[in-house]
Amino acid sequence: MRQVFAGFLLCGVFVLVSCSEPTQIELDRADITQVRVMGNYTGKVRAYRTVELRARVEGYLDRMLFDEGRKVTKGAPLFQINAERYKARVEKAKAQLKKDEAQLARAKRDVGRLRPLYEQNAASQLDLDHAMAELEYAEANVSMSKADLYQSELELGYTTVYAPLTGYVIDRTADIGALLVGGNSLAHMIDVDTVYVDVKLTALDYLQSMRRKVRLGETDSVRLWQPSVQVTLADNSVYPQEGIIDFAAPRVDEETGGFYVRAKLPNPENSLLPGQVTKVRMLLHYYPAAMMIPLSAILYENDEAFIFIVQNHKLKKRKITKGPEYGKYVVVESGLSPDETFVASDVKDVREGMSVNTTFRRGFRNLPESIIIEQKNG
């Protein structure tokens, strides 16, 4: 009986010793890799600049001075409005100016002749005052005639409509022989050597960009990258030129719930046409050296994420900020430094303050040096 009791006692001691032994866990460091966060959207191409061409004077449209569908350069003549009446007005204004200049010259001579006579008391004050008034009147007439001539020359110049930019004439609304009045629309011109692509994001996309401290539409000279886009053409080939997000609407569309941004792309070959709907792939964020850890190493409490580190052979919780997920792994944005170790074992069965023995392991992940994470559009 004593032997049996002694056996039970020894077993109890063994169990107590076993229970007090530290738990064996594995530590690791975060994998460092390059991460690009991409989003896929639909965009619509529009011209970089669109200008409406209007007649500025009245008259019949005599000629079109361009070939429709062909590119025209800035300053090239496009439309010719009948100019005969405006040429006549210029000639009339020139003649009037010449007449007024002759009257001014005579008034100057009269004043020059009367002033010495007045000083010799050979002419009255009234005569001199009258001559001075005639001189001022003549000077005013010359100024008015010069203004009339300038106005007439302007109107004559308006009979030829010139290209305000380099591009294409579209949507012509006036035919040769049509009677135009000032303000009549003639056509539109578009500049497509550069194009805009309007992209609709979601309110969630906007929120995520703000959390990453990326203000879409603003260039950050400190940041090593800028939000950019790639466009897919109609044949599913990728357009070779990348675009930069240069504008973000300061509000959300009430009807669609969309948040609009604008990308600016060079279009030297005119491969992108205004009105074209395209697939848009957008770089939303870039981590040049992202810290990646397994999702299984994260403990969640009250919607907050924690990892375990070891201090003096005891587990300690530390709050982290998660970034985007990649398969079974996640980017750690803050709360962990690259040279620190964390508990790489599954943390669901451990708790803070637990005594542990540690081993270090490396290479259980095989992440590439550069990865792309597809952001789910909300």
CA distance 378 to 208: 10
- In three-state secondary structure terms, 330 is strand
Low-confidence ranges of the chain (pLDDT < 50): 1-18
Q: Which regions of 297-355 does DSSP assign to beta strands (E)?
A: 299-301, 304-311, 314-326, 329-334, 341-343
At 214-251, the pLDDT tens digits run 777 676 666 667 888 999 988 889 999 999 988 888 78
Predicted pLDDT at 234: 85
Predicted pLDDT at 249: 82
What is the H or E stretch that residue 103 is in?
helix 84-119
Predicted pLDDT at 1: 45
CA distance 170 to 46: 14
- Closest by CA to 96, choosing from 57, 135, 156, 150, is 150
**Strand 370-374 with 31-54, pairing:** parallel
Phi, psi torsion values for 186, nearest 5 degrees? -105, -45
Residue recorded with tokens 């009430």? 254
Predicted pLDDT at 377: 65
Environment class of 192 (CB within 10 Å of its CB; exposed 0-12, middle 13-18, buried 19+)? buried
* The two structure tokens encoding residue 283: 């770089």
CA distance 281 to 230: 5
Predicted pLDDT at 378: 54
Neighbours of 152 (CB within 10 A): 20
Three-point CA angle 375, 245, 239, nearest 5° = 80
Predicted pLDDT at 365: 62
CA distance 141 to 34: 78
Residue 283's alpha-carbon distances to 77, 193, 243, in angstroms, are 43, 23, 10
Predicted pLDDT at 20: 56
Predicted pLDDT at 16: 41
Three-point CA angle 183, 184, 186, nearest 5° = 125
Predicted pLDDT at 366: 73
List beta partners, residue 31. 292
Predicted pLDDT at 169: 96
**What letter represents residue 63's amino acid?**
R
Domains and CATH numbers, the chain: 22-37+288-374 (2.40.420.20), 38-48+190-285 (2.40.30.170), 56-79+162-177 (no CATH), 83-158 (1.10.287)
